[in-house]
């Protein structure tokens, strides 16, 4: 490996992928620990699992048992992963990065808490961008998307991954991040999805995990400090701003209009024929891109 850190002998399978020989390897806890040490990671080492029902559920149990901020669970496969709005999330073993991190939110005000999922999405984008090969953006609130993706989706955006934040009874927040890494075209869950493999070729999942953890640490520091750069960076990364959209709201309501911005609480501002609507939660569909 270019980082000089040896990898344990993996259980692997080789798959064709747009001309690249893809070797799917199990995550190596020893190498992850070495990469984290080299990056100066101050938190505990991640719990690495071969398979689990849901890393978010695992992290929630760890939080209830008193695990500190930065405690992380990562799995090679999930059998009952969860996405936003009750969606399921699944992929072949060793083909994605499925991770959940505990954040001790403390006494942050509710207005600050509304920015946490957006900050987490931005951190995931930071970690992917560090690879230097994928023009990753954010679809509000925290979907990781690739403009003009190889998947050829009708909207011009390929969904690469997403973030699910879940508040725990003790005030901790579990930040779940899922990213399609080596899925081939035939393995994508929907035609508008994509993967890092399809967009840029093979990717080191262990380095990606370490990069996202480091980026999350930095974005959390901005979030806690109320740093205006966090909101500025999010708005610059969010391709939903300026787009004509439909938003499916709770109660089977739909809003149609043009997004004018993201307010200081992280909510979406939509102009509907001259009336401004503030969207706090909903399923956003880009009508044009």
pLDDT tens digits, one per residue of 189-242: 888 899 999 998 888 999 999 999 999 999 999 999 999 999 999 999 999 999
- For residue 259, the SS3 value is strand
Contact (Cβ atoms closer than 8 angstroms) between residue 139 and residue 157: yes
Distance CA 122, CA 141 (A): 10
User: Residue 114 above 70 pLDDT?
Assistant: yes
User: Which among 140, 186, 129, 196 is positioned nearest to 163, based on CA atoms?
Assistant: 140
- pLDDT score, position 253: 83
- pLDDT score, position 194: 92
Tens digits of residue pLDDT in 236-269: 999 999 999 998 887 778 889 999 999 999 999 9
Tens digits of residue pLDDT in 60-72: 999 999 999 999 9
- pLDDT score, position 92: 81
- pLDDT score, position 24: 84
Distance CA 179, CA 270 (A): 28
User: Residue 178 above 90 pLDDT?
Assistant: yes
User: Residue 83 above 70 pLDDT?
Assistant: no
Question: Which band of pLDDT confidence, cut at 50, 70 and 90, is reported for residue 131?
Answer: confident
Q: Which of 84-93, 230-239, 256-265, 279-288 has the lowest mean pLDDT?
A: 84-93
User: Residue 88 above 70 pLDDT?
Assistant: no
User: Residue 270 above 90 pLDDT?
Assistant: yes
Most confident of 134-138, 172-176, 199-203: 172-176
User: Considering the chain, what is the average pLDDT of its residues?
Assistant: 86
What lies within 8 Å, CB to CB, of 2 at 6+ separation is none
The mean pLDDT of 45-70, rounded to a whole number, is 96
User: Residue 109 above 90 pLDDT?
Assistant: no
The structure's pTM equals: 0.88
Contact (Cβ atoms closer than 8 angstroms) between residue 157 and residue 145: yes
The mean pLDDT of 106-117, rounded to a whole number, is 83
User: Residue 15 above 60 pLDDT?
Assistant: no
Q: Which domains does the chain have, with CATH numbers?
A: 13-237 (3.30.930.10), 244-286 (2.30.30.100)
């Amino acid at each position: 490996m270019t980082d000089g850190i040896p990898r344990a002998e993996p259980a692997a399978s080789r798959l064709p992928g747009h001309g690249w020989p893809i070797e799917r390897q199990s995550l190596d806890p020893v190498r992850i620990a070495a990469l984290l040490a080299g990056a100066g990671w101050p938190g505990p080492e991640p719990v690495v699992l071969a398979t689990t029902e849901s890393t978010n559920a695992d992290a929630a149990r760890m939080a209830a048992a008193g695990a500190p901020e930065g405690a992380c669970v990562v799995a090679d496969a999930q059998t009952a992963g969860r996405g936003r709005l009750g969606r399921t999330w699944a992929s072949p073993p060793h083909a994605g990065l499925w991770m959940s991190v505990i954040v001790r939110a403390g006494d942050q005000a509710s207005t600050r808490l509304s920015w946490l999922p957006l900050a987490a999405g931005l951190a995931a984008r930071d970690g992917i961008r560090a690879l230097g090969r994928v023009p990753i953006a954010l679809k509000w609130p925290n979907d990781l998307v690739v403009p003009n993706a190889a998947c050829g989706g009708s909207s011009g955006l390929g969904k690469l991954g997403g973030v699910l934040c879940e508040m725990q009874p003790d005030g901790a927040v579990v930040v779940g991040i899922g990213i399609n890494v080596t899925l081939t075209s035939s393995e994508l869950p929907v035609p508008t999805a994509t993967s890092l493999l399809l967009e840029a070729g093979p990717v080191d999942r262990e380095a990606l995990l370490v990069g996202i953890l480091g980026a999350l640490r930095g974005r959390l520091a901005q979030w806690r400090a109320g740093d205006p750069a966090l909101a500025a960076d999010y708005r610059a990364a969010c391709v939903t701003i300026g787009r004509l959209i439909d938003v499916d709201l709770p109660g089977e309501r739909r809003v149609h209009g043009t997004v004018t911005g993201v307010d200081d609480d992280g909510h979406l501002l939509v102009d509907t024929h001259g009336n401004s609507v503030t969207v706090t939660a909903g399923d956003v569909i880009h009508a044009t891109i």
